[in-house]
């Protein structure tokens, strides 16, 4: 069953919406509009109880910046421009911030779900023009809270699965980035060994290697851009699809504070700020307990709901999004915003004391 079905249908995600203008077919891409909202999501919860001002515009502008940079460097992608006055424009043509991005659409094919498991055999019959059902994750460092250590401790993986000769240690900065995979189209994402990722997406060895190589090259591009404003690119995710001739295409959005984890002198400069605020809350503990009981229906069974962010912290997080976009793109899209490093000085105490 395909997720993309009806022209004009509005699909609401946890943080962005999709309006379908033209359906993709087996042979040709469709067209659609991503509207990046001010909603935010952590720990797979979906939309949280409040919104972060200007987050949608910040993400759209920064995503457009990296799509245009990839295009200049020869990486095919699905970006067609940002919408202003009903027209798709490049960043250089845009007069004001926009939160609506025009993109090419590929077919999104749901795996079958039976007997409490997902069946991806439908992908063995697909040639092209579809979303690859994987999130490809690059890791330049391994923070103490990284899921990698939990998976190693529980023998879900061994160091060799990550391309490591020896067990990693907390806060290790890797000489060579790790490539990790997770599911994209399941109710709750789960990590995959490389061979599992290859199997569910029905990829051959060369195709799997191409996914890894392009992810590593994009990682370098994002790292280089953020290093210009003093930030380290710790990890992030990339999504790909296949065009009509099974050519690899970068899709969704990349290089933003939602898709990547950045730090400044060890302080998070991304959605990780929000995760740090909530991670010791009773609500987060309740979500972890619910996931242990039922990986599929855990949210319905969670006994607590999240509280909104404190107003001061929420305002500072909004400024982080806006300031990063201003500084990376080199244009003052958002007025009267402090320099990023000054915002971070104020935010450092908030994520630890306002709980």
> Chain-wide mean pLDDT for the chain?
91
Residue carrying structure tokens 């690119």: 233
CA distance 355 to 307: 10
Q: Is 5 left (phi over 0), alpha (psi -120 to 50) or beta?
A: alpha
Whether 98 shows a pLDDT value over 60: the answer reads yes
CB-CB contact of 51 with 115 (8 Å): no
What is residue 4's predicted lDDT score, i.e. its pLDDT?
A: 39
Q: What is the pTM of this model?
A: 0.91
d(Cα 134, Cα 200) in Å, to the nearest integer? 9
Given a contact cutoff of 8 angstroms between Cβ atoms, the answer to whether 10 and 18 are in contact is: yes
Q: Is 92 helix (H, G, I), strand (E, B) or coil?
A: helix
**Helical (H) or strand (E) element with 251:** strand 248-251
Q: Identify the DSSP state of 245.
A: T
- pLDDT of 13 > 80? The answer is no
- pLDDT one-digit tens code per residue, 264-323: 988 888 888 898 889 889 999 999 999 988 878 898 999 999 999 999 999 999 999 999
Q: In 3D, which of 328, 161, 177 has the Cα closest to residue 254?
A: 328
State the residue for tokens 């059902």.
133
Q: Return the pLDDT at 5.
A: 39
Asked whether residue 10 carries a pLDDT value surpassing 60, the answer given is: no
Q: What share of the chain is helix, strand, coil (3-state, %, to 5)?
A: 35, 25, 40
How many whole angstroms separate alpha carbon 108 and alpha carbon 245? 16
Residues 86-102, mean pLDDT to the nearest whole number: 97
30 bridge partner residues = 105
Structure token pair of residue 236:
């992030």
Q: pLDDT tens digit string along 136-150?
A: 999 999 988 889 999
Task: Decide if 241 contacts 106 (C-beta within 8 A).
Answer: yes
Map tokens 């007069």 to a residue. Answer: 95
Query: Using alpha carbons only, how large is the chain's radius of gyration in Å?
Result: 20
CATH numbers and ranges of domains, the chain: 10-353 (3.30.470.20)
Tally Cβ neighbours within 10 Å of residue 292: 9
Q: Provide the H-helix boundaries in the chain.
A: 55-72, 147-153, 194-200, 205-227, 272-278, 282-293, 298-301, 311-329, 340-353
Contacts of 73 (CB under 8 A, 6+ apart): 221
Residue 211 binned pLDDT confidence (cut-offs 50, 70, 90): very high
Q: What is the DSSP string of 148-212?
A: HHHHHHTTS--GGGGT-SS---TTEEEEEEEEEEEESSSSS--EE-HHHHHHHTT--HHHHHHHH
Res. 353 pLDDT band, cuts 50 70 90: low
CA distance 53 to 37: 9
Contact 321, 55 (CB under 8 A): yes
């Amino acid at each position: 069953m395909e997720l993309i079905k009806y022209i004009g249908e509005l699909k609401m995600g946890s943080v962005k919406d999709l309006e379908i203008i033209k359906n993709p077919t087996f042979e040709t891409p469709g067209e659609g509009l991503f509207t990046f909202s001010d909603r935010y999501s952590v720990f797979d919860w979906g939309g949280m109880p409040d919104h972060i001002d200007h987050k949608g515009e910040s993400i759209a502008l920064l995503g457009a910046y990296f799509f245009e940079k990839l295009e200049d460097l020869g990486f095919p992608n699905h970006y067609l421009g940002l919408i202003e006055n009903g027209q798709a424009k490049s960043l250089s043509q845009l007069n004001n911030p926009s939160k609506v991005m025009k993109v090419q659409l590929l077919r999104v094919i749901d795996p079958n779900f039976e007997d409490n498991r997902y069946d991806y055999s439908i992908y063995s019959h697909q040639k092209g023009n579809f979303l690859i059902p994987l999130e490809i994750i690059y890791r330049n460092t391994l923070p103490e809270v990284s899921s990698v250590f939990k998976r190693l401790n529980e023998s879900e993986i061994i160091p060799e699965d990550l391309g490591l000769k020896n067990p990693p240690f907390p806060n290790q900065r890797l000489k060579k980035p790790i490539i990790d995979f997770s599911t994209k189209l399941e109710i709750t994402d789960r990590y995959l060994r490389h061979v599992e990722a290859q199997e569910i997406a029905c990829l051959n060895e060369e195709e799997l290697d191409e996914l890894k190589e392009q992810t590593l090259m994009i990682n370098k591009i994002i790292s280089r851009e953020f290093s210009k404003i003093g930030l380290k690119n710790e990890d992030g995710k990339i999504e790909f699809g296949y065009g009509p001739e099974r050519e690899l295409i970068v899709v969704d959005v990349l290089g933003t504070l939602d898709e990547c984890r950045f730090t400044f002198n060890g302080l998070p400069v991304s959605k990780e700020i929000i995760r740090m605020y909530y991670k010791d809350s009773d609500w987060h503990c309740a979500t972890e307990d619910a996931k242990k009981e039922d990986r599929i229906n855990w949210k319905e069974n969670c006994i607590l709901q999240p509280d909104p962010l404190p107003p001061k912290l929420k305002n500072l997080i909004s400024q982080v999004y806006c300031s990063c976009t201003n500084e990376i793109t080199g244009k003052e899209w958002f007025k009267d915003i402090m320099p990023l490093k000054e915002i971070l000085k104020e935010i450092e105490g908030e994520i630890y004391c306002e709980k």
